[in-house]
Amino acid sequence: MAIAYHQRVDDDTEFALWKIEEHAEDLYNQLQLNDNEKAFIEKISNGKRHLHWLGTRVLLRKMLHTDEYIDCQVDEHGKPYLVSLPYHISLSHSFDYAAVMISRKSPVGIDIEQVKEKVERIAARFLSPDELAFIDPQEKINHLYACWCAKEAVYKCHGQKEVSFMEDIALKPFTFHTEGQLNAILTKGTTRIDYTVGYLQYEDYMIGYVKG
Q: What is the pLDDT of residues 98-124, one digit of tens each?
A: 999 999 999 999 999 999 999 999 999
Same domain, 69 and 87: yes
CA 100/CA 111 separation, integer angstroms = 9
Q: Of 50, 77, 107, at which residue does a domain stop? A: 107
Same domain, 148 and 81: no
**pLDDT reported for residue 153:** 98
The pTM is what? 0.95
DSSP, collapsed to helix, strand or coil, labels residue 148 as helix
Same domain, 83 and 129: no
pLDDT band at 147 (very low <50, low <70, confident <90, very high): very high
| Per-residue pLDDT at 45 exceeds 80 | no
Same domain, 85 and 31: yes
| Mean pLDDT for the stretch of residues 142-171 | 97
| Mean pLDDT for the stretch of residues 51-76 | 94
pLDDT band at 40 (very low <50, low <70, confident <90, very high): confident
| Per-residue pLDDT at 209 exceeds 90 | yes
Same domain, 96 and 166: no
Same domain, 134 and 79: no
197 close to 153: Cβ distance less than 8 angstroms: yes
DSSP 57-75: HHHHHHHHT--S---EEE-
Same domain, 142 and 173: yes
Same domain, 43 and 120: no
| Per-residue pLDDT at 1 exceeds 70 | no
Supply the mean pLDDT for the chain.
95
Same domain, 92 and 147: no
Q: Of 76, 107, 138, at which residue does a domain stop? A: 107
Range(s) of the domain holding residue 130: 112-211
Q: Please give the backbone phi and psi of residue 55, each rounded to the nearest 5 degrees, phi first.
A: -65, -40
CATH of the domain at 76: 3.90.470.20
Same domain, 41 and 137: no
Same domain, 185 and 151: yes
Comparison of pLDDT for 171 and 1, the residue scoring more: 171
Q: How many structural domains is the chain composed of? A: 2
Q: Of 88, 107, 126, at which residue does a domain stop? A: 107
Same domain, 84 and 118: no
CA distances from 66 to 58, 71, 84, 88, 116 (A): 11, 12, 13, 16, 36
